[in-house]
Amino acid sequence: MQHVRLGLIGDKIQASRSPDLHRLAGRLCGLDVSYELLIPPTRGETFDTVFDHCRNGGFRGINVTYPYKEAVLSHLPAPGADLLALGACNTVVFDSSGPQGANTDCTGFASAFRHRFGDASPGIVAMAGAGGVGKAIAFALVSLGAVEIRLCDAERSKAEALAAALLPRADGTRIVICGSMAEAAEQADGIINATPLGMAGVGGNAIPDRALEGAGWAFDAVYTPEWTEFLSAAREACLDILSGYELFLFQGIDAFRIFTGHQVDAETLRRELAGCELREAS
């Protein structure tokens, strides 16, 4: 059986389900997959050192998560115009021509949205966070035909940089920078958290409850826990929910295909992951 060595570089990833996803996907495809969690601060190493360890240590590929999705671009010899415009990478495969990057957060969000909402337009969307995952989601929203994307980030310069990157590809989608989520959410159809607030080990909530008034759907990029304070409030407000777990699932399927060349059925993998959770809980 072919062995495939994979890993994830990021901070606060102890609760990540990525190892289960890739190992189970491997089993479905007849592959022996190992998947390691690589946390630079815990290892007492820099991101650059950990990346080099993976590149030179027999890894087929790695996922990259917060806060390294932008920093990894400098390690790619030829990232490509689309990836450079997006400004963030979460998937790297090592081959004979050097590290090759992709952003499966972008493709994964688009797939998750279509799986949940069909051909509906995202409409007017208010999004907190313009970092790595926020960039990917914003580009996906453009591809999905969003009417307007309202960006809000604690560092306004990040929102401005993302807006500048989006404008040449906006294709009719209006891009607006807002000073607060309350302002961004006024008469918005969708509300998105693309910050790390709410994730295990971080906590908090970037979305004030009043921002949910009048909205139709909500998405949280955080998936550990799946039901964050934000998504729980959105459910109470009767919004249609797209959870971070859906992004996790679909971006993982795209990354696995890049790593191995194998396409995994989403519903089959979902059932396998659910069974794994039940076994762990028993």
**Domain of residue 201, CATH code:** 3.40.50.720
pLDDT at position 110: 98
Q: What is the reported pLDDT for 282?
A: 55
Confidence at residue 15, expressed as pLDDT on a 0 to 100 scale: 85
| Backbone φ, ψ for residue 30 (5° rounding) | 75, 30
Q: What is the count of structural domains for the chain?
A: 2
What's the pLDDT at 281? 58
* Same domain (yes/no): 155, 60: no
Same domain, 229 and 258: no
pLDDT for res 276: 84
Range of lowest pLDDT (10-14, 232-236, 250-254, 269-273): 10-14
Same domain, 229 and 262: no
Are both 40 and 147 inside the same structural domain? no
In a shared domain, residues 132 and 232: yes
Mean pLDDT along residues 213-231: 94
> Average pLDDT of the chain?
95
Task: For residue 127, count CB atoms less than 10 angstroms from its CB and return exposed for 0-12, middle for 13-18, buried for 19 or more.
Answer: buried
Q: Domain limits at 132? A: 106-245
Q: DSSP E strands: which ranges in 138-227?
A: 148-152, 174-177, 190-193, 217-220
Strand partners, 35: 6
How high is the pLDDT of residue 200? Answer: 79
238 and 260 in a single domain? The answer is no
Q: Taking Cα atoms as reference points, which of 250, 247, 257 lies closest to residue 218?
A: 247
Active site residue 68: yes
Contact present, 35 and 8 (Cβ < 8 Å): yes
| pLDDT score for 92 | 98
Which amino acid does the sequence have at 165?
A
Q: Determine which one of 35, 68, 223, 245 is catalytic.
A: 68
